[in-house]
Structure 1
Amino acid sequence: MRVFLASIPMDDARVVVVGDGEAALAKLRLFGKTPADLVWFAPNGAPTGPGALQGGPEAIVRVPTAEDLRGARLVFVAVDDADLAVELAALARAAGAQVNVVDRPALSDFHTPALIDRDEVVIGVATGGSAPILARDVRSRIEAVLPAGLTQVAKLARDLRETVIASVPDFMARRRFWEKAFRGPAADLAASGRPAEARREMLRLLNVAAPEQGVVHIVGAGPGDPELLTLKALRVLQDADVIIHDKLVPEAILDRARRDAHRLYVGKSRSNHSVPQDQIETLMVEEARKGQRVVRLKGGDPFVFGRGGEELEAMRRAGVPVFVVPGITAALGCAASAGIPLTHRDHAQSVTFVTAQEKPGGVAPDWSRLAGPNQTLAIYMGAGRAAETAARLIEAGRDPQTPVAIVENGSRPDERVINGALADLGDLVARAHLTGPALLFVGECAAFSAAELDVRAELVA
């Protein structure tokens, strides 16, 4: 985050605008809608005619002095003379004000964001002064989806704020009350211009407000690209009190969660389980029993080699309400990103997801079935046993020249695809020095990724 958007109360705040051009008038129109104490200095006099300011403060026709700027919270300098702008900015800072020199970001303490002004609700979009037109375009897109009655909902919340604090002293319970209120009939009634009915509905909710039972959501985060999160996964993440996440969940996805959610890392890698599975399940139960909304966030899909089934059983045994939110499993996401069709009428009539890391003491894979022709194998957790896996498949009858693809960090910005033949799979993995999560694809369809890489190389050339 290169810039921080602060919310500054405007009640009785002294705001000074210096200038007489359109930039100055734009700032006067903006702050004329606020309860601020607005002061205008127009060194060349107020403009007249069609471009004149309608309403607002009377222009003071001179350059302000240091005394004029004393006590100002914000000062906007919109003058053409660069030397005068520097002088006025220094005077304003010396008086304790934050300064914005219009169209001169280097001279400014802050920049004016593109604003969506709905009275009680104000949304800002900022680019640090580098791309104001882009900020305006983003603002327009956001504004188009906001309900027209948003202001009325916020006003109702302001009117009832102290009543809610007194009635629901617990912070978490209070937050859940507001979430119910803003997502239910009370908000709809307020937005449609029926404040009395909306108030009654809010008070009804308040009278029945009680501590909620905790709940667990086992959520698939997908292969890593945050835009591949499902809408339901995103909603659950933004409602979570506690997020228990794996190593395979990148920061880009965690950034989509509610900022103040408590994050607990329980990552696992081969031969290094930072938190054993039974302790993870115990942690999920404990947090839910505190009344928390727990998200168990797992890379890919929780029910595809994610031990989500074990966690689901553990929650049910403990009597904890539990829900599953599926995700795009790694095989689908990585294959699509690398251009590997998992099935193809000419090459693969089936696809098999298999893990190279079977449970200790468990049943070994049926290599004769996995080595069959006309199928694609998507091998999870296979990098550490790539040479052994290739040997077993070849021994079971798979052609040593069968195409293979290694997809590391699939769907992410640092994705890497390595192609070769089954006989060389172990060497390919060794030479690749993999550091991120990787899937192995075996079958004729794996060659499609090599063709995609060739096309990209030709386009670059």
Structure 2
Amino acid sequence: MDSLPLYHRISGQPVIVLGHGEAAEAKARLVRRAGGEVIDDLQDGIDRGARLAFIAHDDARAAEGDALRARCAGLLVNVVDRPALCDFTTPSLLERGPVLVAVATGGVSAGLAKALRLRLEGLLPSSLADLARGLGDLRDRLKARFPGPGDRRRALDAALAAGGPLDPLDPASAARLVDWAEGAEPMATAAAEIRLRSADPDDLTLRDARLLGAADCVAHEPDVAEAVLLRARADAVRWPLAPGEPAPVRDGLVVTVRAGR
């Protein structure tokens, strides 16, 4: 991965969009959809404190020149159809209220990103927006019920899992949210072990992938491939183990990953 996915707040902010034709119009629509103000003059946008610039010139030299000027002024730049000139790329977006799913290929294939987004469109129900807003409304209540962030996250993980009371793919989940919040209990600490069959993360079983995605701590032997460890939560604690060493005792879910032998 050579890019860091971020969501950039631009509501009410000036965003430079240069060029004419369908590509420039598409970028302008994207900016307006996020609440940004489209500025079609580079210097005016720089003077007004724009932080992003979309450049959609057909002429390559004009695109390169404006990209250089914008970058020298401290802006992040996206040049349509010229990935080598881009500081950032725009993903294919799926929106369900406050839930925004972005599918990107780093500028390699916009068509592939679109195809994946269309598949996801059929999976995510419109009720997902209500579920997200409901969870936001109940944030203070959940903090009071689960003061520890680890307990709170584990309770939500269990509820939002496949088949759980708040399964995001179940259209009825939003209607169960209040009842769940009133009866939810802290999750007990737990431990599990994964013994790998290979260094290929695609060989992980569904159980293995689920455990890695939920783990608070990933204890791993030295021969475990980094590609496998990347399937865990980014904020999970990593705990190196010597071969055969027992897993540490910690709060939350501790998943031990051992290399196959």
User: What's the TM-score once normalised by structure 1's chain length?
Assistant: 0.50
Q: Which residue number in structure 1 is paired with residue 70 of structure 2? A: 92
Distance 1:99 1:245 in 2: 40
Q: 1:75 aligns with which of 11, 34, 53?
A: 53
Using a 3 Å threshold, how does the CA distance of structure 1 residues 17 and 166 change in structure 2: closer, same or farther? farther
Q: Using a 3 Å threshold, how does the CA distance of structure 1 residues 19 and 181 change in structure 2: closer, same or farther?
A: same
Structure 1 counterpart SS, 2:33:
coil
| Cα deviation, residue 105, structure 1 | 2.1
Separation (CA, whole Å) in 1 of partners of 2:115 and 2:11: 29
Aligned equivalent of 1:451: none
Cα deviation for residue 65 of structure 1 reads 4.7
1:26-425 alignment runs, 5 A limit: 26-34=26-34, 36-41=35-40, 64-69=41-46, 70-183=48-161, 184-187=164-167, 192=171, 195=174, 197-205=175-183, 208-210=184-186, 212-268=187-243, 277=244, 280-281=245-246, 283-284=247-248, 286-287=249-250, 291-300=251-260
Taking a change above 3 Å as real, the CA distance of residues 94 and 224 of structure 1, as seen in their structure-2 partners, is: closer
Which consecutive residues of structure 2, in runs of 5 or more, have no partner in the other structure? none
Q: Which residue of 2 aligns with 1:385?
A: none
Shift of 1:142: 4.0
Q: Per-residue displacement from partner, 1:394-426 (whole Å, max 9, x unpaired)? A: xxxxxxxxxxxxxxxxxxxxxxxxxxxxxxxxx
C-alpha contact (below 8 Å) 2:157/2:214 kept by paired residues: no
Offset at residue 2 of structure 1 (A): 1.1
The letter for the 1-side match of 2:206 is L
Deviations 1:220-250 (A, max 9, x none): 2223332222111111111111222224432
Instruction: Determine the C-alpha separation between the residues in 2 that align with 1:162 and 1:66.
Output: 45
Q: Evaluate the alpha carbon distance shift between residue 254 and residue 37 of structure 1 in structure 2; reply closer, same or farther with a 3 A threshold.
A: closer
Secondary structure at the aligned position of 1:71 is classed as: coil
2:138 match: secondary structure: helix
Q: In the alignment, residue 93 of structure 2 is paired with which amino acid? A: L
Q: Is the 8 A contact 1:72 1:96 kept in 2?
A: no
Q: Taking structure 1 as reference, are residues 37 and 227 closer, same or farther at Cα in structure 2, changes over 3 Å only?
A: closer
CA distance in 2, matches of 1:22, 1:186: 41
2 CA distance for matches of 1:229 and 1:186?
Answer: 25
The separation in 2 between residues aligned to 1:124 and 1:245, in whole angstroms, is 31
State the Cα deviation string for residues 8-65 of structure 1 (Å, max 9, x = none): 123323223222211112122323322x232253xxxxxxxxxxxxxxxxxxxxxx15
Against the structure 1 CA distance between its residues 243 and 107, is the aligned structure 2 distance closer, same or farther, given a 3 Å change threshold? Answer: closer
CA contact 1:66–1:95 (8 Å) conserved in 2? no
Alignment CA distance shift 1:13-1:209 (3 Å): farther
- The count of residues paired between Structure 1 and Structure 2 equals 258
Q: Greater RCO between the two (CA within 8 Å, min separation 6)? A: 2
Report the Cα offset of residue 193 of structure 1: 6.5
For 1:294 and 1:219, the matched residues in 2 are separated by: 11
Query: Partners of 1:234 and 1:297 in 2: how far apart?
Result: 11
Does the aligned pair in 2 maintain the 1:186–1:201 contact within 8 Å? no
Q: Secondary structure at the match of 1:185?
A: coil
What's 1:19 paired with? 19
Larger Rg: 1
Whether contact under 8 Å (1:217, 1:294) holds in the other structure is yes
Task: Report Cα offsets for 1:297-320 as digits up to 9, x if no partner.
Answer: 2234xxxxxxxxxxxxxxxxxxxx
Return structure 1 stretches of 4+ with deviation > 6 angstroms.
none
Cα 1:293/1:68, change in 2 over 3 Å? closer
Query: What displacement does 1:293 show?
Result: 0.8
**Identity rate, percent:** 36
CA distance in 1, matches of 2:22, 2:99: 26
> Do the aligned partners of residues 213 and 95 (structure 1) sit closer, same or farther apart at CA in structure 2, a change above 3 Å counting?
same
Q: Is the 8 A contact 2:13 2:50 kept in 1?
A: yes
1:73–1:156 distance in 2 versus 1, CA, 3 Å: farther
CA separation of 1:9 and 1:200: change in aligned 2, threshold 3 A:
same
Deviation string for 1:88-114 (max 9, x for gaps)?
334433554322111122322211123
Q: Is the 8 A contact 2:219 2:254 kept in 1?
A: yes
In structure 2, do the counterparts of structure 1 residues 77 and 162 end up closer, same or farther at CA, with 3 Å as the change threshold?
farther
In the superposition, the TM-score normalised over structure 2's length comes to 0.83
How far apart, CA to CA, are the structure 2 residues paired with 1:252 and 1:137?
A: 25
Task: Say if 2:14 and 2:45, in contact at 8 Å, map to a contact too.
Answer: no
Q: CA RMSD in A?
A: 2.8
Is contact 2:200-2:228 (8 Å) kept? yes
